[in-house]
Amino acid sequence: MTPPFLIFLGDVPFAPWSKTGWGLKTWREADCLAQLRLPGCVADLGLPDMTPGEAAACGARTMVIGVVNDGGIVSDSWIASLTEALEAGLDLVAGMHTRLADIPAIAQTARRLGRTVHDVRHPTRSFGVGTGKRRAGRRLLTVGTDCGVGKKFAALAIDKAIRARGIDSDFRATGQTGIMITGRGVAVDSVVADFVSGAAEWLSPANDPDHWDVIEGQGSLFHPAYAAVTLGLIHGSQPDALVVCHAVGRDVLYGFPEYPTPSLTDCMAANVMAARLTNPAARVVGISLNTASLDQAAAEIAIAQAERDTGLPCCDPIRQGADRIVEALLEKG
Amino acid sequence: MTPPFLIFLGDVPFAPWSKTGWGLKTWREADCLAQLRLPGCVADLGLPDMTPGEAAACGARTMVIGVVNDGGIVSDSWIASLTEALEAGLDLVAGMHTRLADIPAIAQTARRLGRTVHDVRHPTRSFGVGTGKRRAGRRLLTVGTDCGVGKKFAALAIDKAIRARGIDSDFRATGQTGIMITGRGVAVDSVVADFVSGAAEWLSPANDPDHWDVIEGQGSLFHPAYAAVTLGLIHGSQPDALVVCHAVGRDVLYGFPEYPTPSLTDCMAANVMAARLTNPAARVVGISLNTASLDQAAAEIAIAQAERDTGLPCCDPIRQGADRIVEALLEKG
């Protein structure tokens, strides 16, 4: 995945669906050159708008699909832009369930021009079933009240804060955006269901006793579509520590209005119960609050309220980083 | 899957791994002609032992792999027998994660001879993500304290007992053996993790308000390898009624000796909590006890004890059928 990147936002109808683009903009900003938006696009990363030809002329090497959607589907309305990018000299990177390499117009154009098409969501290896056997090293997993509440961001911020203290840590990507940011990982939602916990075991192998794996969570135990992925990831990760992530103001699951988001305490209880199957010492060590919908004063009130409700350190890692959680994590040993 | 069948038991080292063969012998006995066992095989279905050539001479049309294992792997030690069956004129049917069609020796032999190779565990269609939307019709799902405790048998017996009362019911197969028995279904453990609950929704679509879908459960919420499959199946099935299945004497999970089986009441509570996410009216309506390890008198004591422990009707569907559970189910409405 060669930078610089042109980030393709397509005709994304909901701003939260541009989270792959936002993740790249946030964690690999120097590599993000421009964005490409089609009519109807409601997202804006604040990058210059360019066509593939313009971006290539400015040095871009790769166009990355920066949007997600339920089902991970490549829209027909994108295909002309994707082939245009190949024609302009760019490689393609996507994190959809649909493989770009399975779309004839894209596969043929890429082959004719010698371009690379990389479908990062598709595992490039097979996995065994989970063993449930304990392994050395320490593990933290972010979990959430819903999808798109900041589990990846929290994990990246926690990993950064642990390493800032001179302690060994690895961020373990479990979704397409995390893989694009760090260049490795497994999109666990794309693994055959029988092997999800086995894939999670593989992703965070035995390590030094004091080493932390900070594992990006997926979905939510309270999600009617994605809880299976969440549970397999919990069981295979065998986390010592859980961080519960929530977006303030998200009262129902995004796109599933019949489903209320759980309270922080209900979410904590359900995740701890699930995690204790494979690690009886699992506990929640902090709360990560996405307060993007609030101003600074209201955000501080919401964070203080979450600390009172849960008795745990809480922070918004976008506003504050994750020091507060990491200090408590390392202090308690 | 054309009968009669030669059931291939290979060199299966654990008798419970012959459960596919037992399922066919039990529910399609008239179609089971013979068994093929290799040195080391500990299973015995009580069928005549035949080579593929002998079975073909007696009229067999298909050799079915009648064993399961963790990971669903086709052993190298089986391949000579599988190609021998093709040479003898038999088609092949398997329910492994490994596709027979991906094994060169088998694929080439089948192509040369014009035989059919059917990998029933591999979905032949794609699924959407779960919607979580309620749909008409009534649904019962069997769940369990472990794998291999009788969830499929219980579901088949319950479906039979409902239909015996003149009420519409369909058994919905979710694993390879169930698919082989009924000729349809989806092996949910082979679906990409993001789509497990969507596949379960597809499997038991909206129906008449009084129609029952009796859905075969998979795995266990208490299983470190397979709970993800279990949870996705629960959420997508939206069961009104759950039946908890347990094998008497199974104190630890089969093949996972560090993991104790849960009590019936803990198993009931965890499954009801999971099921109520997508169906707030979900409840446990009965207990299915596999008492194969006991004599008749001890089995009756164990069944009575389970009824006292749970306050629910309990039966061993192999010894007694499922009338006791179905009477209570239909009575309570």
Residue B333 predicted with pLDDT over 90 = no
Q: CB of A212 within 8 A of CB of A161?
A: no
Q: Tens digit of pLDDT for each residue in A10-34?
A: 999 988 889 999 999 999 999 999 9
**Helix residue spans in B88-195 (DSSP H):** 104-113, 151-164, 176-182
Separation between Cα atoms, residue A202 and residue A225, nearest integer Å: 24
> Chain A residue with minimal CA distance to B122?
A192
Cα separations in angstroms, A243 against A145, A187, A207, B159, B205: 11, 20, 21, 43, 37
Mean pLDDT of chain A: 96
Chain A residues with beta carbon closer than 8 angstroms to that of B191: 192-193
Q: Tens digit of pLDDT for each residue in B236-245?
A: 999 999 999 9
Separation between Cα atoms, residue B12 and residue B41, nearest integer Å: 5
**Helix residue spans in A30-174 (DSSP H):** 52-57, 79-87, 104-113, 151-164
pLDDT value at residue B61: 98
Are B192 and A97 inside 8 Å of each other by CB? Answer: yes
Are B258 and A132 inside 8 Å of each other by CB? Answer: yes
Task: Return the amino acid letter for B106.
Answer: I
ipTM over 0.90? The verdict is yes
Residue A197 predicted with pLDDT over 80 = yes
Average pLDDT over residues B138-160: 97
Give the pLDDT band of residue A51 (cuts 50, 70, 90). Answer: very high
Least confident of A189-198, A255-264, B56-65, B69-78: B69-78
Q: CB of A44 within 8 A of CB of A73?
A: no
Separation between Cα atoms, residue B52 and residue B84, nearest integer Å: 7
Separation between Cα atoms, residue B44 and residue B33, nearest integer Å: 13
Structure tokens at B72: 């669903």
3-state secondary structure of B144: strand
Give the pLDDT band of residue B71 (cuts 50, 70, 90). Answer: confident
Cα separations in angstroms, B25 against B20, B45, B95, B319: 9, 7, 16, 16
User: Distance, in angstroms, between B327 CA and closest chain A CA?
Assistant: 31
Residues 6 or more apart in contact with residue B231 via CB below 8 angstroms: A227, A228, A231, B221, B274
**Helix residue spans in B264-332 (DSSP H):** 264-275, 296-310, 317-320, 323-331
Separation between Cα atoms, residue B210 and residue B264, nearest integer Å: 29
Structure tokens at A108: 């043929």
Separation between Cα atoms, residue B75 and residue B107, nearest integer Å: 16
pLDDT value at residue B179: 95
Residue A124 predicted with pLDDT over 90 = no
User: Distance, in angstroms, between B65 CA and closest chain A CA?
Assistant: 19
Question: To 10 degrees, the CA torsion angle through B21, B25, B27, B33?
Answer: 120
Closest CB from A129, A226, A229 relative to B225: A129
Separation between Cα atoms, residue A182 and residue A27, nearest integer Å: 9
Are B129 and A222 inside 8 Å of each other by CB? Answer: no
Closest CB from B132, B231, B235 relative to A258: B132
Give the pLDDT band of residue A333 (cuts 50, 70, 90). Answer: low
Structure tokens at B153: 């048998």
Separation between Cα atoms, residue B129 and residue A144, nearest integer Å: 19
3-state secondary structure of A147: coil
Closest CA to B238 of B204, B208, B190: B204
Separation between Cα atoms, residue B169 and residue B330, nearest integer Å: 12
pLDDT value at residue A163: 97
Average pLDDT over residues B84-111: 95
Residues 6 or more apart in contact with residue A69 via CB below 8 angstroms: A12, A17
H or E stretch at B201: helix B196-203
Give the pLDDT band of residue B211 (cuts 50, 70, 90). Answer: very high
Average pLDDT over residues B67-72: 87
Residues 6 or more apart in contact with residue B159 via CB below 8 angstroms: B169, B170, B171, B212, B214
Closest CB from B224, B231, B270 relative to A228: B231
> Chain B residue with minimal CA distance to A233?
B228
Average pLDDT over residues B270-275: 98
pLDDT value at residue B332: 65
Q: Tens digit of pLDDT for each residue in B168-181?
A: 999 999 999 999 99
Higher pLDDT, B214 or A73: B214
What would the DSSP string read from start to end of A121-136? TS-SS----------S
Separation between Cα atoms, residue A264 and residue A314, nearest integer Å: 11
Q: Tens digit of pLDDT for each residue in A156-179?
A: 999 999 999 999 999 999 999 999
Average pLDDT over residues B193-218: 98
User: How deeply is B309 buried, as exposed, middle or buried, from its count of CB atoms within 10 A (0-12, 13-18, 19+)?
Assistant: middle
Question: To 10 degrees, the CA torsion angle through B288, B289, B295, B301?
Answer: -90
Are A224 and B131 inside 8 Å of each other by CB? Answer: yes
Residue B214 predicted with pLDDT over 60 = yes
Residues 6 or more apart in contact with residue B308 via CB below 8 angstroms: none
Closest CA to B51 of B70, B35, B40: B35
Average pLDDT over residues B56-60: 97
Structure tokens at B329: 């189910």
Closest CB from B228, B235, B270 relative to A224: B235
Helix axes A227-237, B196-203, angle to 10 degrees: 140
Are A224 and B197 inside 8 Å of each other by CB? Answer: yes
Residues 6 or more apart in contact with residue A166 via CB below 8 angstroms: none
pLDDT value at residue A39: 94
Are A228 and B235 inside 8 Å of each other by CB? Answer: yes
Enter the DSSP assignment of A100.
Answer: G
Closest CB from A133, A194, A227 relative to B189: A194
H or E stretch at B169: strand B169-172
Structure tokens at B67: 């064993």
Q: What percent of chain B has pLDDT over 70?
A: 99
Average pLDDT over residues A58-85: 94
Q: Tens digit of pLDDT for each residue in B283-312?
A: 999 999 999 999 999 999 999 999 999 999
